[in-house]
Amino acid sequence: MSPAGAEARPVPVPAWERAAGRLWHAALAGGFLVAWLTADEDTYRMHVFAGWWVVGAVLARLALAVVATPRGPLALVRPGRPAAMLAFAALVLVAVGAAGWSGVVADGHPAVEDLHEGLSNLALAAIGLHVGLVMWLVRGRWLRPRPSQRAPQPLRLLLLGGGLAAALLAAGPARAGDPARDALLAGLAKAARAEDPAFTAFSPERGEKLYRARTGANAELAACATCHGDDPTRPGRHAKTGREIRPAALSATPSRFTDPDKVTERFDRDCPAVLGRACSARDRGDYLTFLMSK
């Protein structure tokens, strides 16, 4: 802690540093926004570009801090700023950097995708906290110089941030248990009975037929197997983006079919694209039963 009064004295800073600080902030925020909005596979190239941009911006920030005036606007720790603000800005930098870097790794290693998704959600949460805190501070509660008031302990705030991060990360695997998959199948069975009272059970044989069916509806995406592979226990390859897809079979990818929203979203997207029609509840249950038997 520097003595009171010293903080108020302005440090002479070249104008470029202030400009660089603003530009950098816009570059990071813009890059993250673009990456967030393009996370879909149809905009994959843009997503990868934005991801590298974000990683570059985080590294650039560290480089700028090294060359800039000590205690100036580009210093990582700026005297006079509330500790909470510094702590959350640091959390954003670390979380966004980790999200970006895990994305770069996931590009070549699909197994890292879940981690990348978790870290990206965490980064978004950190950004929300950072923005909320800054807005609160700007209302004038803490930015008014009150030398008598001690800023909250950075350690406590970091612990708070870390606890939040751990909770978010734990929420991922917590959803990824067998109960979720069982509940999904039970829900589909109920829907299949509602569709057809004669329905008795899902069939892995019908599921395999669906997996390999070539209806001719889409020349480029001829069958589910076109992307998911003839052998579902082996990694597939996306017919459009060329990216590897984790094996569709449960035995090879134990986290399969544990996120009902993801499963529904994929059926709603992949069935019309490949078969030219929606998949019924029976189709869905058959398909899952086939891949769970593999």
Between 48 and 76, name the residue whose CB sits nearer to ligand HEC.
Answer: 48
Mapped onto helix, strand or coil, the DSSP state of residue 81 is: coil
13 versus 221: smaller Cβ distance to ligand HEC: 221
Q: Which is nearer to ligand HEC, 192 or 224 (CB)?
A: 224
Smallest separation (angstroms) from ligand HEC to the CB of 222: 8
Contact 220, 275 (CB under 8 A): no
Paired with 237 in beta bridges are: 244
Nearer to ligand HEC, 97 or 207 (CB): 207
Interaction site with ligand HEC (CB under 6 A): 41, 221, 224, 226-228, 238-240, 245-246, 256-257, 259, 262-263, 266-267, 270-271, 274-275, 287
Interatomic CA distance for residues 18 and 24, integer angstroms: 10
SS3 content of the chain, % helix, strand, coil (to 5): 65, 0, 35
Q: Tell how strand 236-237 and strand 244-245 pair up.
A: antiparallel
Nearer to ligand HEC, 83 or 224 (CB): 224
Question: What is the smallest separation between the CB atom of 229 and ligand HEC, expressed in angstroms?
Answer: 10
- How near is the Cβ of 31 to ligand HEC at its closest, in Å? 23
CA 276 – CA 86 distance, rounded (Å): 53
> Do residues 130 and 89 lie in contact, with contact meaning Cβ atoms separated by under 8 Å?
yes
Residue with tokens 């590009």, as numbered in its chain: 107
Distance CA(255)–CA(253), nearest Å, equals: 6
Closest separation between CB of residue 104 and ligand HEC, Å? 18
Q: Write down the least CB distance from residue 52 to ligand HEC, Å.
A: 21
